[in-house]
Amino acid sequence: MIRIIGSLFFFSIYFNGIAQQDTLQPTVLDEVILTASRTERKLSNCAVPTYLITQKNIAQSGALRLNDILSEQTGLNISSHLTTTSAGGGVFGIGVQLQGLSPDYILILIDGEPVIGRQGGVIDLSRIAVNNIKKIEIVKGPSSSLYGSEALGGVINIITENAQENKLDASFRYGKFSSADAHLNAAIKKQKWGLQLAGNRNSSDGFDLEKNKPGKSVDPFESHTAQLKLNVSPARKSKIILSVRFYNERQDNYFQTQELLTNSTTSIVGNGNVNDINLNASLSHQFLNKVNSTLRYYCSRYEYEQILSKESTNANYYYDYFQQNYSKLENQNDLKIFTNNLLSIGGGFIDEKLNTTRYAGERKNKIVYFFLQDEWVPNKKLTIISGLRFDGNKMYQSKWSSKIAVQYRLSNKFRLNASFGEGFKAPDYRQLFLNFLNTAAGGYVVYGANEINIAELNLQKQQGIISEILPRAFQLSLLKPEVSTGLNLGGLIEANSKLSFNFNFFRNDIENLIQVETIAFRSNAAPVYSYFNVKKAYTEGVELNGTLQLNNQFQVVGGYQFLRTADKATLKQIKEGFIFTRDILSNESFQVRRKDYAGLPNRSAHAWNVKLFYHNKQRDLDAAIRILYQSRWGTFDKDGNGIINRADEYAKGFALVNFTVTKTANQFRFQTGANNLLNYKDEKNLPGQPGIQPYISISYSFINTKNKE
């Protein structure tokens, strides 16, 4: 099996290209995209690294949630994050890395507006159902010149469907662990307006990877999603869009904990609830064919509540409440004064509020921003895009961000792209205001940088709460925003009508990385943590992707990413010979070499995918097999030298094999498949991967062709 996978891997490198493609259909290079420049343009004219996942790609994969479809894309690493604020339960958040940058630095949008409710810095991608998604646009590299904070590493924009015709879609899927998913989409389209309604229910009994421990690795849950989207064109040059989206999830918690005083085992029961509701409204109008002005208003509320009690006595054990409110008003104007120039000018105001048991009191923040971008096309071969943005944030210093991108067409089949931009991420509420005591995990404490100082620690020591203050505590200070500069160099080659491939080299340099460090110990020996700006780091590598049309029935899509990361201070210490390690067997000490250093944790140096698609038009039969490989990655330091360098400090690499078979009969579609066909499990390093997951589904689609536009 390893030889087969290896052969397919080298085959995928030979046929590489970045642009995604509908199976056995013309390329999507002329698909209109929006995220990369905030203005509509063809994918083939985009000067920054932009990836497109179409609705057909999603259907072929059998994906249900956003993390399912993103996990099969080149250069996107999906990781499960255990909550650091919940007292118990299983996997809480599923995030995504771009170009080696962690989920904290990736901005997630739905219809151009941010998804809020980060837990531990991560937006849980499993919150987002894909049944009503039209397409997903992925922009890699710093994008703060257009989108501000949290776009340090890139942007993922989920674009939902607009009503284009009168139709009704419904489906039901059932799989292992009693996982069930049902969705209903309905659309009404009239001459000047359209109404789209989407609903989804998703549930599972959870699963358990460690049978010798009470409770489950991932607890049972049930979620509901609903979205209503109205499009109105009151005049030929005016457009109104109004969208309301609601998400609810309930998770049933059960686990056992050790009582510190009695040293006895206690069973804990309870539940966690998530509610997420948002309103997105926009009004666009074109003036004199020269200016297009758009006014947008967006507001969102995210709530999470967890209530736990002792099963034997029903006594309260743990309570956690988190509520975030976000509202934004923005205006953007696109001016086409000259035929070869498009100038975009915009600005807005953001108001945020946070109320949670984790922080002391309600927290508020206000942001005023403006941006401008100019696109200049001096001739048919050259496009130059430059942008600048200012963010005035009440909680920290103001920040300017810039970007420039160039595309040069050597021919109709060969294009080169280059972009250089700045990104930043403001310290979040957690890093600034967290005041959290975890009684369920040994009584450790985490303070935000604004919540603790050396005077307060000394007072706690006098009161007997703190037993020891570490030297690092004397360096506590207000946090600065994390900043980055990113360079991308790439190109697209369309060899012929059947073969295209693309490459992109990238380098991201990050400063003022925020990390948690121990500042003291409590009287029970539990650590006290806080946040510091300490690191300078980089990520660099290359991405290759491609598409090969074998014949009218078979198509191969492949991709590969090589990634290298490092903490710059650590590299300097290695070069100067200051870092040592011990041999696993002999315990002998020796100096660490550069090639032994794994770089930043939780990053794989190599990742590739191969996808084979089959389509038989006469029989209305489709099939797809996707092989995904990820090489080993560093986990945590075991030899005490502060870095990952020994073989026992890595998690093993793995391969996932997913397949689907789809049969269409009139208005019905039947699909069966399985994810993780090789039954890969790693309960320690990938607690969200439950092994093989077979499923079956049935879909029904009705379109009123009489009223179809």
The string of pLDDT tens digits covering residues 466-479 is 999 998 899 898 88
**CA–CA dist 6, 558 (Å, integer):** 13
Amino acid 135: pLDDT? 94
Instruction: Kindly report the length of the chain.
Output: 709
- Kind and range of the H or E run holding 445: strand 444-447
Residue 18, pLDDT > 60, answer: no
Across residues 104-131, what is the average pLDDT? 91
Is the predicted pLDDT of residue 4 greater than 70, yes or no? no
Checking if the pLDDT of 429 tops 50, the result is: yes
Banded model confidence at residue 151, pLDDT cuts 50, 70, 90: very high
Whether the per-residue pLDDT at 85 is higher than 70: the answer is no
- pLDDT value of position 213: 73
Residue 14 — pLDDT band, cuts 50, 70, 90?
A: very low
The second-level CATH assignment, the architecture, of 2-575+602-635+652-707 is Beta Barrel (2.40)
Residue range 251-281, pLDDT digits in tens: 999 888 776 556 778 888 999 999 999 999 9
Confidence of residue 84 (pLDDT cuts 50, 70, 90): very low
**599-629: b (≥16 Cβ within 10 Å) or e:** bbbbbbbbbbbbbbbbbeeeeeebbbbbbbb
Of 24, 50, 4, 134, whose CA–CA distance to 547 is shortest? 24
CA dihedral 20, 21, 26, 30 (to 10 degrees): -30
Model pLDDT, residue 17? 34
> Tokens 């995210």 map to which residue?
302
Mean pLDDT to the nearest integer, 538-549: 96
Tell me which of 298 and 637 has the higher pLDDT.
298
Which residue in 120, 308, 81, 125 sits closest to 215, CA to CA? 308
User: Worst-scoring range by mean pLDDT, 187-196, 210-219, 692-701?
Assistant: 210-219
What's phi and psi for 70, nearest 5 deg?
Answer: -70, -30
Question: How many Cβ atoms sit within 10 Å of the Cβ of residue 246?
Answer: 14
- Least confident residue range of 9-13, 244-248, 379-383, 652-656: 9-13
Q: Is the pLDDT of residue 89 over 60?
A: no
Q: Record the pTM.
A: 0.90
Q: Over 90: is that where the pLDDT of 608 sits?
A: yes
**Cα angle vertex 659, ends 653, 662, to 5°?**
165
Model confidence at 115: pLDDT above 50:
yes
Structure tokens at 427: 């310290």
pLDDT score of 262: 65
Rounded Cα distance between 299 and 345, Å, is: 22
Contact, 683 vs 643, CB < 8 A? no
In whole angstroms, what is the distance from residue 134 CA to residue 417 CA?
Answer: 26
CA nearest 672: which of 661, 656, 664, 657? 661
pLDDT digits (tens, 9 = 90+) for 365-415: 999 999 999 999 999 999 999 999 999 988 777 889 999 999 999 998 899
Express each pLDDT in 488-500 by its tens digit. Answer: 999 999 888 899 9
Instruction: State the Cα–Cα distance between residues 130 and 339, nearest whole angstrom.
Output: 38
Q: What is the pLDDT of residues 530-541, one digit of tens each?
A: 999 878 999 999
Sorted by where each begins, the domain ranges of the chain are 2-575+602-635+652-707
Q: Give the chain's mean pLDDT.
A: 88
Question: Residue 131 pLDDT more than 60?
Answer: yes
Give CA–CA dist 158/388, Å, rounded.
Answer: 24
